[in-house]
Amino acid sequence: IRYFLKSMEHSIWPSSAVHLIPVSTAKNGVSSKSRKRIMPDPVTEPPVTDPVYEALLYCNIPSVAERSMEGHAPHHFKLVSVHVFIRHGDRYPLYVIPKTKRPEIDCTLVANRKPYHPKLEAFVSHMSKGSGASFESPLNSLPLYPNHPLCEMGELTQTGVVQHLQNGQLLRDIYLKKHKLLPNDWSADQLYLETTGKSRTLQSGLALLYGFLPDFDWKKIYFRHQPSALFCSGSCYCPVRNQYLEKEQRRQYLLRLKNSQLEKTYGEMAKIVDVPTKQLRAANPIDSMLCHLCHNVSFPCTRNGCVDMEHFKVIKTHQIEDERERREKKLYLGYSLLGAHPILNQTIGRMQRATEGRKEELFALYSAHDVTLSPVLSALGLSEARFPRFAARLIFELWQDREKPNEHSVRILYNGVDVTFHTSFCQDHHKRSPKPMCPLENLVRFVKRDMFVALGGSSTNYYDACHREGF
């Protein structure tokens, strides 16, 4: 599994074979704005995906405020709760390219360096005062913000902090200022915060909260520690999931062997850095190369030559092909349905309690990794979605229809785009129903039963699906 998680951390999903563009429909007095959604358009998609363009999307370099569709709903809908899954922001590579100088990137936070955010200095000043008892062990031992003049491996960068300050501010404008999700006298119970034990996820979560909350009071913050990147808590044991994973790894391996251009490229790069090809490949050079690209630092050179953009394009293009085949072969889907069940189950549990009028856990934040978001996206049927970029956000909104208070609905947003009607549990909903959102029951039915049916066996619950014989 460790091997696979490693390799997954760097794969990037292709621009889908079908382009996703906004399409608006106005029905039943619902404004076209709130009905905008993304639909495939095979006409506008370029026939070949551009590996450099894809890589830059992945970098997610902060620029002007983006447009987003979070919080769009007809006036008679009331926002009940919000569940946010994020990937950590931009980070330093996890691996070095052997025998080369690693990129010189400064992980301290300073105002006169780009990218900048108006809350950056206040964030540092607040964090440097310490956190009290705000974290479950062992999170207490982690630094609260990045602070090394030469980044450590995997450390969050200033770009990563700014990405999440921006995410937080955007969500604050929508959910707090516009929809009043939290009362003025909000308390710790109204937040549910969970992070993996890496400094980059904790720091990303803190930056997002700092941008989001009107008053960042340590007494109201409590981060739980999640040991598993799948956020599977007490339900992690699932042998069939591991079998899907092994088959998926095998698929990935065989596809690589078939790509002679890729092998040649690794060979060339290995010569440049003067190590065996195997060793270079094991060092996962794409991770480091992406960092060079995202930070506009030229690729490394040795006296034998330079790693260059052509090398990068070959490896990146292979990743794109790998993602395409991954979607077709569906082994990853099997892995994802089982891998994402526990966290989705937890989420619907939280939503159901909110529909009963409970006022706790109105805002849930899970600070996580690509290997967390990617299976959730896949399990929801969003296989066309791009691989989680740095600081990606996946959001579940729960709404109540004030005119029919017993009816609750959900919206799903990925990086600000409404993907509700692309999920497998609500795909055809808008064709059959004039309702502007997806009924909560659809999501509940999917998580409780249909996601196991989608695996193709006879299982209808998590335990049976995880222990199916003869798979």
Min separation Cβ 228 and ligand NAG, Å:
12
The one among 267, 349, 405, 456 contacting ligand NAG by CB under 6 A = 349
The one among 71, 211, 342, 436 contacting ligand NAG by CB under 6 A = 342
User: DSSP character for 140?
Assistant: G
Which entry of 287, 370, 401, 418 is annotated as an active-site residue? 370
State which residue, 193 or 465, has the beta carbon closest to ligand NAG: 465
Active-site annotation holds for 88: yes
State which residue, 141 or 296, has the beta carbon closest to ligand NAG: 296
Among the residue ranges 93-101, 259-267, 342-350, 417-425, the one whose residues contact ligand NAG (CB under 6 A): 342-350
Evaluate the CA torsion angle 49, 55, 59, 62 in order and state its sign: negative
Which entry of 10, 72, 83, 88 is annotated as an active-site residue? 88
State which residue, 10 or 341, has the beta carbon closest to ligand NAG: 341
Min separation Cβ 463 and ligand NAG, Å:
7
Please list every residue from 278 through 297 that binds ligand NAG, using CB under 6 A. 296
Active-site annotation holds for 72: no
Min separation Cβ 180 and ligand NAG, Å:
27
State which residue, 13 or 462, has the beta carbon closest to ligand NAG: 462
**What does the buried/exposed string (b/e) look like for 285-317 if buried means 16 or more CB atoms within 10 Å of the residue's CB?**
bbbbbbbbbbbeeebbeeeeeebeeebbebbbb
Helix 51-59 × helix 285-294 angle, to 10°: 70
State which residue, 387 or 462, has the beta carbon closest to ligand NAG: 462
Q: How far is CA 310 from the centre of its chain?
A: 28
Among the listed residues 171, 230, 183, 241, the one whose alpha carbon sits nearest the alpha carbon of residue 391: 171
In angstroms, what is the C-alpha Rg of the chain?
A: 22
Among the listed residues 83, 24, 101, the one whose alpha carbon sits nearest the alpha carbon of residue 394: 83
Binding status of residue 242 toward ligand NAG by CB under 6 A: no
The one among 131, 147, 228, 235 contacting ligand NAG by CB under 6 A = 235
Among the residue ranges 45-53, 216-224, 269-277, 341-349, the one whose residues contact ligand NAG (CB under 6 A): 341-349
State which residue, 144 or 293, has the beta carbon closest to ligand NAG: 293
Among the listed residues 408, 411, 403, the one whose alpha carbon sits nearest the alpha carbon of residue 357: 408
State which residue, 203 or 345, has the beta carbon closest to ligand NAG: 345
E strands within 42-110? 77-87
Min separation Cβ 409 and ligand NAG, Å:
20
Q: Is residue 390 exposed (0-12), middle (13-18) or buried (19+ Cβ within 10 Å)?
A: buried
Binding mask 243-282 for ligand NAG (x = CB under 6 A): ----------------------------------------
Min separation Cβ 466 and ligand NAG, Å:
9
Q: Among all chains, which residue has been given the structure tokens 């659809």?
A: 442
Q: What is the dihedral of CA 273, 279, 280, 283, to 10 degrees?
A: -120
Binding status of residue 239 toward ligand NAG by CB under 6 A: no
The one among 252, 288, 345, 378 contacting ligand NAG by CB under 6 A = 345
Min separation Cβ 146 and ligand NAG, Å:
21
Min separation Cβ 349 and ligand NAG, Å:
3
Nearest residue to ligand NAG, by Cβ distance, number only = 349
DSSP track, 405-427: EEEEEEEEEETTEE-GGGSTTTT
CA distance 58 to 49: 14
Helices (H), 172-276: 199-212, 239-258, 260-273
Amino acid sitting at position 395: I
Angle in degrees, CA 167, 154, 146, rounded to 5: 60
State which residue, 30 or 453, has the beta carbon closest to ligand NAG: 453
Residues binding ligand NAG: what is the number (CB under 6 A)?
Answer: 6
Helices (H), 78-119: none
Binding status of residue 462 toward ligand NAG by CB under 6 A: yes
Q: Which residues contact 103 (CB under 8 A, 6 or more apart)?
A: 92, 93, 288, 291, 292, 295, 297, 300
Among the listed residues 448, 7, 471, 13, the one whose alpha carbon sits nearest the alpha carbon of residue 242: 471
Under the rule (CB under 6 A), what is the footprint of ligand NAG?
235, 296, 342, 345, 349, 462
Q: Which residues are catalytic?
A: 88, 370
